Structure 1
Amino acid sequence: MRYSLRERVGKVLLARRPKSLLYAMVVSDMKLVTLVRPRKHSLHPSDLHLLFGMVSSRVFATGEHWTPVCFPRFNDQGFLHVYINYIATGVALVLVSADRDSFFAMTQCREHVCDDLATDDLLQRLADAAAQRALHPRELGVAGLLQLYYRNKTLVQHFGTRFAESVGDAQMRRIINTYKRLRLHMNKGGQKPLRIIYHRSAADTVLAWQSSSFELYAAVDPSMEVKSMIRLVNTVLEWIDKEEDHLFVVSPPSY
């Protein structure tokens, strides 16, 4: 998603924030578009994951919903109240408040947000973004990449491509399982933790790379040599750095 669209949506949420609102977010196809939060506090990724699981449930697919939710990393002894409403196909507006009696304020906020997003076709652009598939590996500007998973440790966000058409179901499962095994090896700890693991079998070639700022897993054409694979991954890292504002929520609006 283009950074300019994220920014405009974030400004709409911030401008329409009622006093009782803690967090406001737009979620498109289980992906975070933007998040409005208090300046000194953000929802922990595990709490966001819990919230996304709710949003994806069919129970919340139609109508307005107002429900108490315990976010363990925010406060495991209490509840916040969550408003969920799909404002376009695949696009949900999620509002979080500490005030259990603020349902009507949240409803009014949603009406204002939808009115503002309707200008300049912002709502339609969000719906179009929700309908898009994940990027194809070739869209990263390299040849021979079958799939890539990248995690930004600083932002605690991740990005992944879909698998190339040449990858069948059995190979897909094998590559995912290889990612899991390599991640376990790298995260065992110790005085000298592994940073790069090159895995090659008769059927698959996978590279796992972990630094202080990112975690990366890449599957490439099995015939690719090590040097070519390293060049490919470096090219991908340059591309991710260039596209960071579009791939991740880098600077969410705060109040």
Structure 2
Amino acid sequence: VPGKRHLDEDDASVSWRKRKKHFFILSNSGKPIYSRYGDEHKLAGFSATLQAIISFVENGGDRVKLVRAGKHQVIFLVKGPIYLVCISCTEEPYESLRGQLELVYGQMIVILTKSVNRCFEKNSKFDMTPLLGGTDGVFSSLIHSFSWNPATFLHAYTCLPLAYATRQAAGAILQDVADSGVLFAILMCKHKVISLVGAQKASLHPDDMLLLSNFVMSSESFRTSESFSPICLPRYNPMAFLYAYVHYLDVDTYLMLLTTSSDAFFHLKDCRIRIEMVLLKSNVLSEVQRSMLDGGMHVEDLPADPSPRSGTSSPHLGQPRFSTDSPEGFREAFVGIGGPAGLWHFIYRSIYLDQYVSSEFSSPINSSRQQKRLYRAYQKLYASMHDKSIGPHKTQFRRDENYVLLCWVTQDFELYAAFDPLAHKALAIKTCNRVCQWVKDVENEIFLLGASPFSW
């Protein structure tokens, strides 16, 4: 994702006004700090208008959260002296867009820490843009991820599928390093976790992992050489910097070692050399490359309906609420282009582990536009399932011209599944039970087990 796009645009440009989703950061004095599209300095008048709306409502003893104007929603988020605004006509739920503003604010805190507020206390007209110089690509990458990365609304992370022994080998050497004074040791491949280890009682929120990995992947400087950089983890401690040693082991795989010490570079460099040696000797890096080529779970590979296992007491969707007895004419005969019973895609989130697994996209959801549409459908489903004013709900079944969507929430997991719009309800329910059993059967390979200390 490139950095700032369409720099020539401003609020007078027709093209700027036609953009479907804008993000703005401004100060409480109306100074523009960041804009997704156009040059911030050319948008000074527009930023002042947004600031005036917020101030006007606050002066009346209230707080503005949402303004609807035709097809557009204007969402406001006030964080002390920092104002964040999203203007969208994408029909995403308010909760989702507000959550995205929280993440944009979190990304700013990763770079600056919350102590930047003190600068505004000393000088209300403080200009923050120089402090964020060169980070346009970081924000652009994060905003782009709102269209494809389920972690942005699930608040969970995903792991690269690996054999249990391979992940254990990576975890063992990271644990050795954590015992030598490293706060967090994280090994990742793109946005997927290979292994992570934390010092005793140190807890890492999935949102912090999302923002940290986005910061590393969207900053070119981390790719070209080993780096030692101050970073902040908003959920861990928003007021203080940690120090991150970052090194790419190959084009997609990188190691992050986090410490509280500003002079630990050489110690962390030695740790990295030890880690890299062990990863090469135990073939972890070659296994990572193989996993990248093979991909994850494919709906076409969903195992046949397993016979009842003795001693298993896992819940079944549709019992007793729905009957899963399929009519004779539909018995396993309905196989769509994807998996059994027209299954096209699924996301399974383990509540205990704060991890999720998402099946690979396959036909007919093989274009980026179709994938984005399904992502937005999941987003709406998630928001409605967790709507506190009318819920929470346990199951939901939706059918429209694009999909059958089925969601199932228990105390242990959440399952979101998309089927062919002509899929039979009873078979879809039966297939969801099979997906849950499949995930349970391969959990050693798709999840980082024993990671409960990282729950928040």
Runs of 4+ residues over 4 Å off in structure 1: none
User: Could you tell me how far 1:171 is from its partner in structure 2?
Assistant: 4.1
1:92-142 CA-partner distances (Å, limit 9, x unpaired): 111001101000111111111111222132222223334443432212335
Q: Do residues 60 (structure 1) and 222 (structure 2) align?
A: yes
1:232 matched residue in structure 2: 431
Q: Do residues 121 (structure 1) and 121 (structure 2) align?
A: no
Unaligned runs of 5+ in 2: 1-161, 304-338
Q: Counterpart of 1:217 in 2: which secondary structure?
A: strand
* Distance (whole Å) between structure 2 residues aligned to residue 75 and residue 165 of structure 1: 43
* Distance (whole Å) between structure 1 residues aligned to residue 288 and residue 371 of structure 2: 30
Q: Do residues 99 (structure 1) and 261 (structure 2) align?
A: yes
- Whether contact under 8 Å (2:353, 2:452) holds in the other structure is no
Q: Do residues 204 (structure 1) and 366 (structure 2) align?
A: no
Query: Are the structure 2 counterparts of residues 41 and 17 from structure 1 closer, same or farther at C-alpha, using a change threshold of 3 Å?
Result: closer
User: Could you tell me how far 1:41 is from its partner in structure 2?
Assistant: 2.3
* Distance (whole Å) between structure 2 residues aligned to residue 131 and residue 29 of structure 1: 13
1:73 matched residue in structure 2: 235
* Distance (whole Å) between structure 2 residues aligned to residue 168 and residue 120 of structure 1: 35
1:166 matched residue in structure 2: 364
- Whether contact under 8 Å (1:43, 1:74) holds in the other structure is yes
Decide which structure has greater strand share. Answer: 1
Query: Are the structure 2 counterparts of residues 159 and 3 from structure 1 closer, same or farther at C-alpha, using a change threshold of 3 Å?
Result: same
1:182 matched residue in structure 2: 381
Which of these residues, 434, 449, 455, is aligned with residue 250 of structure 1? Answer: 449
Which stretch of the first structure deviates more once superposed, 26-35 or 93-102? 26-35
1:193-224 CA-partner distances (Å, limit 9, x unpaired): 22111111233211112222212111112221
The one-letter code matched in structure 1 to 2:347 is: Y
The one-letter code matched in structure 1 to 2:446 is: L
Which of these residues, 146, 158, 165, is aligned with residue 4 of structure 1? Answer: 165
* Distance (whole Å) between structure 1 residues aligned to residue 451 and residue 257 of structure 2: 15
* Distance (whole Å) between structure 1 residues aligned to residue 216 and residue 163 of structure 2: 23
Q: Do residues 82 (structure 1) and 281 (structure 2) align?
A: no
- Whether contact under 8 Å (1:26, 1:34) holds in the other structure is yes
The one-letter code matched in structure 2 to 1:148 is: F
Paired positions, count: 254
> RMSD value over aligned CA atoms?
2.0
The one-letter code matched in structure 2 to 1:74 is: Y
Which of these residues, 9, 12, 15, is aligned with residue 176 of structure 2? Answer: 15
1:55-95 CA-partner distances (Å, limit 9, x unpaired): 21233222101100111111111110001101123111110
Query: Are the structure 2 counterparts of residues 18 and 232 from structure 1 closer, same or farther at C-alpha, using a change threshold of 3 Å?
Result: closer
Q: TM-score by structure 1 length?
A: 0.91
1:164-214 CA-partner distances (Å, limit 9, x unpaired): 212254543333222122222111124752211111123321111222221
User: Could you tell me how far 1:253 is from its partner in structure 2?
Assistant: 10
* Distance (whole Å) between structure 2 residues aligned to residue 43 and residue 113 of structure 1: 21
Query: Are the structure 2 counterparts of residues 247 and 37 from structure 1 closer, same or farther at C-alpha, using a change threshold of 3 Å?
Result: same
Query: Are the structure 2 counterparts of residues 253 and 148 from structure 1 closer, same or farther at C-alpha, using a change threshold of 3 Å?
Result: closer
* Distance (whole Å) between structure 2 residues aligned to residue 191 and residue 18 of structure 1: 47
Unaligned runs of 5+ in 1: none
Q: Counterpart of 1:188 in 2: which secondary structure?
A: coil
* Distance (whole Å) between structure 2 residues aligned to residue 18 and residue 39 of structure 1: 9
